[in-house]
């Protein structure tokens, strides 16, 4: 069994097509079929069922796929470790980030990292905390930067970047525009726009109200922070969000909420046991330094 057998097998499993896999791998389809036949003969069982022009991975193939993926990840990790012995930094750095990272300090950190290490190719994916954990566990991510901790898996470790209180955001038409502080009890009957059910920020708000025997009055749900603020600006509705979301936003004021637990944190997530490449460690250090020096928050 050779490494190319694993690469060929995984590409077919990914595309469910010998034709597409051959094109992606830049080999002929007969060559690819021959290589997979060799692999199946060595393993002693079919890895794919051929049904007309379509193929389906077999149960044996599904089992072998997880082992093949793990073997290639371990090899890549080993090669990265050996390369780092010579002080070289190259290859790919795969990062999961929270969905609103574009309004954060991270783009400037990434730009600084690229200027210092242009030979490292960075792949950024915006995703939920659950998807970040899944990516780290599967080896698809090198690190993740998230908000609204904690992580749910004990195989994750985190390094805090910042913590900040959430505030009430109101437009000029709102009765609380110009107020400095409000208690959660007064918010209970006010119409709010919040993120969809199940999102970390929504859960944080609902938990805060529930601890006081209250429930927020949610009249709209929006997944876009920008759209939420645009709606608030021209109405008497309000939202609860991170204060940094309002920096530089005209027509929106922030009102502090007297609820110490209504805070969010940002952190770098790592897989507890997986090797951390030099590139990942350096980027994490730059992010921590940027937050320590410049700010304590992000946008929603």
User: pLDDT by residue (tens digit) across 170-206?
Assistant: 999 999 999 999 999 999 889 999 999 988 888 889 9
On the 0-12 / 13-18 / 19+ scale of CB atoms within 10 A, 12 is: buried
Both 184 and 242 in one domain: the answer is yes
122 pairs with which residues across the strands?
93
Q: Tell me the pLDDT tens digit for each residue of 46-93.
A: 999 887 777 889 999 889 988 888 888 777 767 666 665 455 456 789
Domain assignment present for 299? no
Instruction: Please tell me the predicted confidence (pLDDT) of residue 297.
Output: 40
Q: Which of 81, 109, 138 is the last residue of a domain?
A: 81
Domain assignment present for 45? yes
Mean pLDDT score across all residues of the chain: 86
Domain assignment present for 130? yes
- Band the pLDDT of 233: cuts 50, 70, 90: very high
| Percentage above 90 pLDDT, the chain | 35
94 pairs with which residues across the strands?
123
Both 154 and 123 in one domain: the answer is yes
Both 221 and 248 in one domain: the answer is yes
Q: Tell me the pLDDT tens digit for each residue of 289-300.
A: 988 876 434 433
Both 137 and 285 in one domain: the answer is yes
CA distance 19 to 167: 54
Torsion of CA 132, 144, 150, 166, to 10 degrees: -110
Both 177 and 43 in one domain: the answer is no
| Domain housing 106 | 88-161+265-294
Q: Tally the domains of the chain.
A: 3
CA distance 141 to 134: 9
Residue with tokens 């998807």: 131
- Band the pLDDT of 24: cuts 50, 70, 90: confident
Domain assignment present for 111? yes
Domain assignment present for 300? no
């Amino acid at each position: 069994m050779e490494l190319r057998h694993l690469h060929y097998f995984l590409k077919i499993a990914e595309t469910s097509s010998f034709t597409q896999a051959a094109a992606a791998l830049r080999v002929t389809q007969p060559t690819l079929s021959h290589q997979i036949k060799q692999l199946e003969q060595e393993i002693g069982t079919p890895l794919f069922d051929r049904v007309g022009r379509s193929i389906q991975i077999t149960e044996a193939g599904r089992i072998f796929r997880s082992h093949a993926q793990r073997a290639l990840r371990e090899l890549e990790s080993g090669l990265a470790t050996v390369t780092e012995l010579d002080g070289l930094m190259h290859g790919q750095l795969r990062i999961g980030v929270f969905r609103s990272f574009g309004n954060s300090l991270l783009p400037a950190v990434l730009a600084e990292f690229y200027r210092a290490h242009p030979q490292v190719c960075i792949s950024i994916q915006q995703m939920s905390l659950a998807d970040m954990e899944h990516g780290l566990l599967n080896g698809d991510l090198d690190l993740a930067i998230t908000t609204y901790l904690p992580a749910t898996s004990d195989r994750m470790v985190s390094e805090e970047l910042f913590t900040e209180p959430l505030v009430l955001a109101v437009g000029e038409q709102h009765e609380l525009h110009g107020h400095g502080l409000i208690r959660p009890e007064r918010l209970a009957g006010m119409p709010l726009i919040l993120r969809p059910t199940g999102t970390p920020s929504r859960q944080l708000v609902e938990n805060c109200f529930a601890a006081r025997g209250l429930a927020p009055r949610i009249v709209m749900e929006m997944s876009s922070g920008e759209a939420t603020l645009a709606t608030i600006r021209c109405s008497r509705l309000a939202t609860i969000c991170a204060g940094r979301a309002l920096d530089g936003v005209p027509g929106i004021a922030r009102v502090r909420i007297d609820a110490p637990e209504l805070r969010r944190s940002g952190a770098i997530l790592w897989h507890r046991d997986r090797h951390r490449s030099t590139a990942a460690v350096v980027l994490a250090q730059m992010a921590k330094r940027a937050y320590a020096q410049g700010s304590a928050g992000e946008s929603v």
